[in-house]
Amino acid sequence: MTRRRLGLGIDTGGTYTDAAVVDMSDLTVLAKAKSPTTYHDLSIGVMGAIDGILEQKTYDLEDIAFVGLSTTLATNSILTGKGGKVGHIGIGWTPQPNFSSGADMDAYVKGGHGVWAQQQEPLDIEAVMEAIERMKGEVDSFVVSAHFSVYNPVHERDVAELIKKMSGLPVVLGHQLSSELGVPQRSVTAVLNARLLPVISEFLEGVERSLTERGVTATILVFKGDGTLMNLNMARERPVETILSGPAASLMGGKMLCNEQNCIVVDIGGTSTDIAYLDDGFPRISKEGASVGNWRTRVKAIDIWTVGLGGDSHVISDQRGMFKIGPERVIPLAIAASSHPFIKEKMVTTSETNYYLHVERDTSKLTSREKEIYDFVKANPMCTLNEIRMGAPEVYNYRNIVNRIKERGFLQMTGLTPTDFMHVQGTFDRFDTEAARLGVEFMANWGHMSKEDYMNAFQKEMITRVGEEVMRKVILDEVGEVSENGGFNYLLRATVNGNNGSSITARTKLDRPLVGIGAPTHIYMPPLEDRMEVKVIIPRDHDVGNAVGAVCSQISETISVQVYPDKDNRFFVLTPFGPPRTFTHISSALESARRQAEEWVRRRAYEAGAENIRVRSDTYENTYYGGFLVEGEQTAWIDVVARATGEPRVQPRKNSSL
């Protein structure tokens, strides 16, 4: 009997971890499940979603050919500063005064290469050895980043050999993660990658072990931020490439579920709304590299617009019926009451919607006053701000301290959210509807509005906000920037008919459809069809579109090699994986560059877990006009860009218990 080829997709979102079993022949979703994302240990939420899938008997476990995993672990770890300690050795460059590599220890030594891949100064071996000796007992891994190592990596490799010989610790080299220029950004990328090594390794081992215990021995692939896949070995080596893998999975899920090659995918989740373009079936890639928090990296990732607008966004309104939705994320009242039922009685007696809970964390770095407030909240869950004031009378600036430790992740706050409105509307009923109703009625009474008018006003505003953010993404992509000017924002809202009583009527017409992914999209996106004169597509199984996307992609590797001419009619081929080569004819140089690039991406794609590999290379000439005693356009350099793409290689993992 011919077995079906199924994929198990898993995505850890900001609020929920989704899982879906997909028939890869026709992209039918055979089973799906959700589980709350567990930030203190993401694998718990992952296993909760998988267990929900395994309970459904709509498929045979043996038919699962591979598992696709999209995770927020890298992004969350970077934002919260988690991970191993890193020692960074920079070669041949001096950082700007305000630059931070993100490493725990830094050293800068002489050496490095120039723009022609020539050695600009001999490597200072003594200084390197002194730096290794000083750091090796203090760090868990090393990063080496040399000036122009993407053109000549020999100094990075020499230092790596010394580190392994003197310490035996893992080493990450800047040129291995990016072929783009910019040694500061390459250094940050490599440091973040090194810091993530133990974090991602522990997570993947836990997922792999748990899957095996449940009888799933299929190949595990990890989703990258550029919308492609890699195997476990490469994910352990290059965890930084999983930055923004969640939004990338949503984008690919939207593409596969609606079969649209040119569209704008809008993913409304619990924490945020992510908006991205698809052109001819491919996501637009950020030219500058992914940014996480204050870190600008050289990681290839989709060009995405993210805004704090989701099911768990804090909804605040004034007595004029004006709403502010997000960007702060809170615990919806409906969810809070599911685990703390007494909150409903407390809401009636206190007329409050904001209550505080502690988050179990290491508090050794809290000040004495911060610790006092934290301990009070821990002993008195679901307390109000006034109760905190009464319980910590010596802390006079309690409001500021509560906000500060809440922003740092030590406290959580409840509040009215879109999730609560959906419960009251009857479009979502997973949690405590009564608590949501109390919150809506309280805020409606405070604003001197009926419950129905209040809910209608919120619904209109939420639809407006989604449309507004779509237009921001459109303008950003076509103009390059978005103004924060009040007049501009007023006109922007007019394009989605969001200004009540305005004398301005504006009509828009987008050149491609909007595709909605995420549980709330069927509520908030269809009205945009009339408002924005655009086709809105809400595909089947849109609520787990991100999990579908996690298995519906390919493995791909890309590299850029440069060919530079000089004034003596020589041509240099510069690569990040070998010494420079010199040719006397441009055709020979281009052929060598193409061959090296294609061989490299083919090998890397195979190592990442690909089969049926296809390779393509293109050349891009970069010119300048004129020069001293020269007329017309001249060639500055030529980029040879090679890309290898293949299907995931299905190879069941070995079960050590068998």
Angle between the 42-54 and 183-213 helix axes, to the nearest 10 degrees? Answer: 40
Peptide bond connecting 327 to the previous residue in cis, omega within 30 degrees of 0: yes
Q: What single letter denotes the amino acid at residue 65? A: A
Q: What is the pLDDT of residues 453-500, one digit of tens each?
A: 999 999 999 999 999 999 999 988 888 777 778 888 888 888 888 777
Domains and CATH numbers, the chain: 83-195 (3.40.50), 313-452 (no CATH), 555-648 (no CATH)
The pLDDT of residue 450? 92
Q: Please write the tens of the pLDDT for every residue from 76-121.
A: 777 667 788 999 999 999 998 889 998 999 999 999 988 777 888 9
Q: Report pTM.
A: 0.81
pLDDT computed for residue 656 by the predictor: 40
Give the pLDDT confidence of 136-165 residue by residue, as tens digits.
999 999 999 999 888 888 999 999 999 999
Query: In whole angstroms, what is the distance from residue 198 CA to residue 215 CA?
Result: 26
Q: What does the mean pLDDT of the chain come to?
A: 88
- CA-to-CA distance for 249 and 452, rounded, in angstroms? 37
Residue 599's pLDDT band, with cuts at 50, 70 and 90, is very high
Residue 652's pLDDT is: 66
Average pLDDT over residues 567-591: 87
Per mean pLDDT, which range of 195-199, 287-291, 521-525, 616-620 is the poorest? Answer: 287-291
What is the DSSP annotation of 176-244?
HH--SS-HHHHHHHHHHHHHHHHHHHHHHHHHHHHHHHTT--SEEEEE-TTS-EEEHHHHHH-GGGGTT
Q: Are 461 and 321 in contact (CB under 8 A)?
A: no
Assigned token pair, 316: 């605040």
Is the pLDDT at 135 greater than 90? The verdict is yes
